[in-house]
Chains A and B, each alone.
Chain A
């Protein structure tokens, strides 16, 4: 199944739009985070009987991001994973592992979990 329709949304409208989709019976499929410089772009994927809605929201990585786990409880796991991978913080997260969903707190390392940076080489040039 191929899907290309992604609608861009202002972050201030996120909760209203997600609440509307919940009320209309949409299921939260997942969220796809993409790092774009200082911003974190999150694509929210929803589905209702194979009718899909994809919302693109760009947020500032340095300020706490708005959680939608109060509307869709299942978002808590996805948002915790994003916290681990990208070193960001969600506000209003119903169950937060504080950046330690994958990595044990005793390890003493804080997210982002993969702090190593990998550079692409294209034709021998970095």
Chain B
């Protein structure tokens, strides 16, 4: 039978954002996948030409809603390095708390969408029900549910009172207890394993060669997590990267499931070690020089390159998001996949197209 070319996306029931893949299939088995991008390219790097370096905090938060806090923290880190700003330790740990809350809500969002993708509607709803508890924490502590805008150049704009910290810890205990119940379904249920095990296999060698990062890389056995470098407040916390070795969709799901538990632990550690003191410092002058900063987003490694020449506008703001790096690995996962399983494999990298195209 002659090969058949099938368009997948940009609108598809399992895709929260528009990505288009041109799939070549033979007997309903994918033999080749080519990406088509551009549905939500917004030219955000170009916007750096007309927004000053303080305003850009709000711009980078909108690169991706789901991990907005980490975008802003990474950008702020770059400007602070250029301006030799010493961020107070309390601000560092507050950034960690809100970043990890973002990771939890992002992973819970993905776990729900993944369950929906393989047809487990009640699991999707239960996951998102738990996620609401985390959204409530963000709303109560930052005033917003998703784009929380807590980061500024020089620290953070909001503090947590001792009562809020105690309340967050009790919410986490509650959420963790219910989340572990769901873990039995995500990790042990027959139908979940049937749809995800052996799907979209990416070997460690291939993942590394193609530049896979985050849970996509760690699901293939690459033990690399930028938080290990100890940026921001992570140097004060104990953790090991979560790694699985099977390289399939189930392994990537398991990494994210375990990372939610790890984030609960990191938030507890950060709250228990939160020192007294200032939450930001006054910023004077303009940035000058060039710097590269990296951080770990829910989807993987984020890189910012910033160049400035002592003016309020930057000369260049370059953003490399994790999904952009995980597109070539996705193209390597798809050949050999049955057409019916393509949505599960595509979802397994947790694609964020807003991030990818910026």
Contacts and interface: CB of A to CB of B under 8 A. Distances in A.
Contact of B229 (A28, A50, A54): A50
Interface string A81-112: 00001000000000100000111100000000
Interface in A8-61: 27-30, 32-34, 43, 45, 49-50, 52, 54
Contact of A43 (B50, B301, B305): B305
B208 interface: yes
A28 B211 contact: yes
A30 B181 CA distance: 40
Contacts of A27: 208, 211
Contacts of B320: 29-30, 32, 45
B49 A120 contact: yes
A64 B231 CA distance: 39
B11 to A, nearest CB: 15
A122 B311 contact: yes
Given A1-B295, A118-B46, A118-B49, A32 B305 contact: yes
A85 B318 CA distance: 12
Contacts, number: 100
A77 B291 contact: no
Interface string B77-88: 110010000000
Q: Assign chain A's interface to a size class.
A: 35 or more
B324 A2 contact: no
Contacts of A6: 290, 292
B77 A2 contact: yes
A74 B210 contact: yes
Interface in B203-224: 208-211, 224
Contact of A72 (B38, B211, B312): B211
B328 A54 contact: no
B293 A34 contact: no
A4 B229 contact: no
Nearest to A118: B49
A114 B290 CA distance: 24
A54 B77 CA distance: 19
A77 B324 contact: yes
Contacts of A102: 37-38, 41, 357
Contact of B231 (A1, A32, A72): A1
Which 8 residue pairs spanning A and B have beta carbons closest together? A102-B38, A30-B320, A74-B328, A3-B292, A32-B318, A32-B305, A1-B229, A74-B211
Given A6-B290, A29-B294, A29-B320, 10 more contacts: A1-B231, A1-B294, A3-B293, A34-B316, A52-B292, A54-B292, A73-B210, A78-B324, A95-B34, A120-B311
Interface of A: 1-4, 6, 27-30, 32-34, 43, 45, 49-50, 52, 54, 72-74, 76-78, 85, 95, 101-104, 113-114, 118, 120, 122
Interface of B: 34-35, 37-38, 41, 43, 45-46, 49-50, 77-78, 81, 208-211, 224, 226, 228-229, 231, 289-295, 301, 303, 305, 307, 311-313, 315-316, 318, 320, 324-325, 327-329, 357
6 contacts: A1-B295, A27-B208, A45-B303, A45-B320, A52-B292, A118-B46
